[in-house]
A and B are shown apart, each in its own frame.
Chain A
Amino acid sequence: MTESKSSLIIPGQSPEDATPSCWSCGTMRAVHFCSSCGKVQPPVPVDYFTFFGFPRKLNLDTSELEKEFYALSRRLHPDVFGQAETRERAWSLEQSSMLNDAYRTLKDPIKRTEYLLRLEGVELGEQSKQATEKARATGELKKQVVPPDLLEEVFELNMHLEELRNQKKMGEDDPALLEEIGKAKLSLEEKYDALFNELKTEWNKWDKSVDSGTEEDRRKILDKMLDVLNRRNYVRNLVRDVNEVIGNL
């Protein structure tokens, strides 16, 4: 009657579990449920786009995604399997965690893009938030490439920030300097928004290339998207640094 605590360990998901036909009635199975008897099926390792039955495209109707998410939740969530047999409960747990992971990733435009890049074998750079935080905590130097078009701006901003920090230590106050920094911040924020639009342009190119592009076209678009994402992360980190310095005043 009682569940053993060793249930903390679940058996590794073996793809062998996933047979081409329904475990219950034997007809050919659909991805999540048997198309004939409706029973939940052992999960097969599929990508998040396939999980939702979507093409691997980046322009995505999020209200459609939400609708699908709710509909699948109603059929896959462990609550629905309260009375089911043990293995169906285990499959429901696996399937619904995958559903949630997939939904979380696809509904966010940046996470969706990063996911696609990883799916296509692109290694995401050191620009990620995680890498930044890790570097900060350990005091290690982070590999940080300054985007060339930002070089001059960043150089100036860093000088201003340094100056502000020094003034702060001395207890001085320079409204002109603050205004300079404020202006730089505003310009960065505009750049941040512009980069998102640039990313969307690449989305359109990608979606088109999925239908009718060459492998080489797609590679180029992927590289471009990686570049935009890296620049965008870089700008975001800069804005955060500025906010920290201003916030500490």
Chain B
Amino acid sequence: MSSDSIVGIDLGTTNSLVAYMQGDSPVVIPGEDGLNLVPSVVALDENNQIVVGNAARKYLIETPERAVYSVKRLMGRGVEDIQDELKLFPFQLADDLQSGEVIRIKLGERTFTPPELSAFILRQLKRNAERFFGAPVTHAVITVPAYFNDAQRQATKDAGRIAGLNVLRLVNEPTAASLAYGLDKKKHGIVVVYDLGGGTFDISILKLHDGIFEVISTNGDTHLGGDDIDNLLIAIALDDIRGDLGLEFGDEVRRSGEAVARIRRAVIEAKIALSSQPKAKLDVDLPGGKKYQREISLEVFEQMVQPIVDRTVGPCKQALKDAGLKPEQIDEVVLVGGSTRIPKVRRLVRDLFGREPHTDLNPDEVVALGAAVQANILGGGSEITKEMLLLDVTPLSLGIEVAGGVTDKIILRNSTIPASATQYYTTQVDGQTNVAIHVLQGERELARDCRSLARFDLKGVPPMPAGMPRIEVKFLIDANGILRVSAREQRSGKEAEIDVQPTYGLTDEQVEKMLLESFDYAEDDFRQRQVIEARREADTILTALAKGKKNQAWQELTTEERRNVETLEKALVAVKDGDDYHAIRGGIDTLNQATMHLAELMMDTAVSTALKGKAMDEADTDLEDVPQVGHPVAKADFE
């Protein structure tokens, strides 16, 4: 495992990226389409194949029931927590969902858990990196919102495993961003990272000291971001439509996935435009040939989004309070996340912290770049990173339920991780051999108001009179922010067995099964991709041949040669739309071979025509023809 093959991944609500450390600087690895951002969209295409990213976006509009976005909002959550999400997002839950089961989302006729859907995105990023390196990529650092709880972190780690990645570390997004910013500046001081993304908001306050990035406090909201602005604008548009075009028609539009998807696209475009223009137009084609048109001024837009943007203030103030700092004591403010492009957000940050925020790095890419830096550190480091060390904190207090349904906090929020706490338990009944422990996360006093993480059953406690056993249970939050538990009965020295029932998560067995399925699936995926690529190559060679036949060189071939080429051409046309990769590949190769002579003649003709001083434009076309089609000789080299 060399450090350069460990990638850093930003698994975002709206977009995802993969980056790595190229020498002294982190760079984003583009996809096959040349773009750095892979939209976090997963869809099933016409052939029931999974498509991800830009290729999947068109399905959001064409077949919305077969496409899904913003899956990150569902990670590590139960059916009861996502009721609000279901009202706003076109998520279709599986019909046969049992209570207590990890939620599954319907995509066409198939259903997937959020970690599986995220794994599709991760696999696409993995593939992009492998294409880029020309070598397998198996190790990754993945970023998560700082305010993600244990279940959400575990779900992200599971997604990595299902995608065939060994997740070396989960890094908090704002902290990762600070690494990317801190790389070229040896600095001391207090830095605030304000990270408003597509679906999550984080605020982190760090102390920089000789390459040590010590997080002092963090806060946030894992359900606050650009999505909320989009949903608000969609709701306003739908109300408009009901008002302007009639109640009944409006309700029809509301139910039409395609119409809502079109409105969504239009409001997002308008939102983006309003970051640089004083007004934007909405123009949406609705079913039945009707149109929805509206102009939004920046002023109106800012009024509308004010309540959403204001929701970031509370967490900022709490983080300052927890850090024991006043705004004047902050040295730098860094903006991260696409939603910080909104001028209103920038003004709010400036007013809150009393200084102009930094925006030197692309807010969409800075988290992935930081993840690449952390990947480099974990891989053994390099000259530029060897002094760097990240000391992060746990965003939420960890507790256990005690008598009366009260939360007993045992590790407080903003504790530097790894962090641990030891608790002692005993039995209440003579001969009792099991002790149940309910682990909670959150700040509230009552257990029912906190997040239930897991129920642990300590088993195999030696039978003793009630109150006699002394069971030491150690809770440890690791560097990923994920809880681990160990237990030992002190009188007998016996290790107690722990049976873990994650409240909202996949069991080990489920993850293993999904991993295996994903291998089958990947195999399938791979074959499918091969066929598609071969087909594309066949089309290229056939087009080139059609042009070649119009060239005078065609006439210079022998009748025998021409007949041979045409037979092979027909053969390739016959197989190219089938699913037999080897048949297509063979057809391409033999046709390539047979047209070798034609290509040579064409090349000669083109060159001699040019030399003869023929009209330049004609020569141009001739010359252009040859390299443009790659001519049939050269074995088309895809990847």
Smallest Cβ distance from A137 to chain B, in angstroms? 4
Contact between B488 and A9 (Cβ–Cβ < 8 Å)?
A: no
Q: Provided the pairs A1-B138, A5-B511, A9-B498 are in contact, do residues A78 and B391 lie with their beta carbons within 8 angstroms? A: no
Asked if residues A130 and B484 are in contact (CB atoms below 8 Å), the reply is no
Q: Knowing A70-B209, A70-B210, A73-B212, say if A2 contacts B166 (CB, 8 Å).
A: yes
A46 interface residue per 8 A CB criterion: no
Task: Give the segment of A90-98, A186-194, A227-235, A236-244 that binds chain B.
Answer: A90-98
Annotate B482-512 by CB proximity to A: 1 below 8 A, 0 otherwise: 1111111000000100101000000110010
Whether B378 lies near A8 (C-beta < 8 A) is no
Whether A86 sits at the interface, judged by CB under 8 Å, is no
Q: Is B235 an interface residue (CB 8 A)?
A: no
Residue numbers in A under 8 Å from B257 (CB-CB): none
The complex places the Cα of A104 from the Cα of B415 at a distance, in Å, of 8
A3 to B511 alpha-carbon distance, docked (Å): 11
Question: Separation in Å of the A240 CB from the closest CB of chain B?
Answer: 14
What per-residue 1/0 map shows which CB atoms of A71-89 lie under 8 Å from chain B?
A: 0011001111011000000
Asked if residues A2 and B161 are in contact (CB atoms below 8 Å), the reply is yes
Q: Which of B18-26, B404-412, B525-533 contacts A (4 or more CB under 8 A)?
A: B404-412
Interface pair A100/B417, CB less than 8 Å apart: yes
Decide: A8 near B484, CB < 8 A? Known: A1-B138, A97-B420, A97-B476.
yes
- The residue that B508 contacts in the complex, of A5, A93, A101, A103, with Cβ under 8 A, is A5
Binds B, one of A10-18, A49-57, A155-163: A10-18
Given contacts A1-B166, A82-B380, A134-B406, contact A10 B479 (CB under 8 A): no
Does A6 have its Cβ within 8 Å of any Cβ on chain B? yes
Are A2 and B515 in contact (CB-based, < 8 A)? yes
Most A CB contacts (10 A, CB to CB) among B374, B391, B418, B477 go to B418
B9 within 8 Å of A (CB atoms): no
Q: At the interface, yes or no: B624 with Cβ under 8 Å from chain A? A: no
Contact (Cβ within 8 A) B416 A93: no
Cα separation A1 to B421 with both chains bound (whole Å): 30
Q: A130 and B515 in contact (CB under 8 A), knowing A8-B483, A79-B479, A82-B379?
A: no
Q: What's the least CB distance linking B187 to chain A, in Å?
A: 15
Residue of A nearest to B499 (CB): A9
Contact bitstring B338-381, A, C-beta under 8 A = 1, else 0: 00000000000000000000000000000000000010011110
Determine the chain B residues whose CB is within 8 A of the CB of A142 once the complex forms: none
Chain A contact residues (Cβ within 8 angstroms of B): what range? 35 or more
The chain A residue with its CB closest to the CB of B404 is A138
The answer to whether A79 and B508 have CB atoms under 8 Å apart is no
In the complex, chain A residues whose CB is within 8 Å of the CB of B478: 78, 93
Q: Known A97-B476, A137-B406; judge A10-B166 contact (CB<8 A).
A: no
For residue A75, which residue of chain B has the nearest CB? Answer: B389
Q: Is the interface of B mostly helix, strand, loop or mixed?
A: strand
* B324 shortest CB reach to chain A, Å: 11
Quick one: given A77-B479, A79-B389, A101-B419, are A3 and B1 in contact (CB under 8 Å)?
Answer: no
Complex contact B389–A73 (CB within 8 A): yes
State A136–B474 Cα separation when bound (angstroms).
27
Q: How far is the CA of A7 from the CA of B406 in the complex (A)?
A: 28
Residues of A within 8 A of B209 (CB): 70
Inter-chain CA distance A121–B419, complex, in Å, is 24
Given A1-B138, A136-B445, A137-B404, are A100 and B419 also a contact pair (CB < 8 Å)?
yes
- Give 1 or 0 for each of B187-219: 1 = CB within 8 Å of chain A CB: 000000000000000000000011010000000
State whether the Cβ of B398 lies closer than 8 Å to any Cβ in chain A.
no
Interface residue? B446 (CB, 8 A): yes
Contacts of A104 in B (CB 8 A): 415-416, 419
Interface size class of chain B, counting residues whose CB lies under 8 Å from the partner chain: 35 or more
| A130 near B474: Cβ-Cβ < 8 Å | no
Known A93-B476, A134-B406, A138-B404: A82·B378 in contact at CB below 8 Å? yes
* Structural contact, A79 and B445, CB atoms closer than 8 A: no
Assembled-state Cα–Cα distance A96/B487 (Å): 19
A156 to B445, CA, bound (A): 30
Is A133 at the interface (CB under 8 A from chain B)? yes
Indicate if the CB atoms of B445 and A12 lie closer than 8 Å.
no
Please state if B445 and A10 are interface contacts (CB–CB under 8 Å). no
Judge whether B479 and A138 touch: CB under 8 Å.
Answer: no
Query: Is the CB of B60 closer than 8 A to any CB of chain A?
Result: no
**Residue of B380, B472, B479, B485 with most chain A CB atoms under a 10 A cut-off:** B479
> Is the CB of B177 closer than 8 A to any CB of chain A?
no
CA A98 to CA B488, docked complex, whole Å: 18
Contact indicator A100/B406 (Cβ below 8 Å): no
Is there a chain A Cβ closer than 8 Å to B260's Cβ? no
A4 CB-CB contact with B under 8 Å: yes
User: Which B residue sits closest to A84, measured CB to CB?
Assistant: B380
B390 close to chain A: CB less than 8 A: yes
- In the complex, which residues of chain A have a beta carbon less than 8 angstroms from the beta carbon of B515? 2
Q: Look across to chain A and name the residue whose beta carbon is closest to the beta carbon of B506.
A: A5
Q: Does B168 contact A (CB under 8 A)?
A: yes
Interface residues of B in 581-609 (CB under 8 A from A): none
Q: Residues of A contacting B495 with CB < 8 Å?
A: 11-12
23 cross-chain CB contacts under 8 A: A2-B515, A8-B484, A10-B474, A12-B472, A70-B209, A78-B479, A79-B479, A82-B168, A82-B379, A83-B380, A93-B418, A93-B478, A100-B417, A100-B418, A100-B419, A101-B421, A104-B415, A133-B406, A134-B402, A136-B445, A137-B404, A137-B445, A138-B404
Top 3 nearest A-B pairs (CB, nearest first) are A82-B378, A97-B418, A12-B488
**A residues apposed to B, CB below 8 Å:** 1-13, 70, 73-74, 77-80, 82-83, 93-94, 96-98, 100-101, 103-104, 130, 133-134, 136-138, 140
16 additional contacts (CB under 8 A) given A5-B511, A13-B486, A78-B418: A5-B508, A10-B474, A12-B487, A73-B389, A79-B169, A79-B378, A80-B389, A82-B379, A83-B379, A97-B420, A101-B420, A104-B416, A134-B406, A137-B446, A138-B403, A138-B406
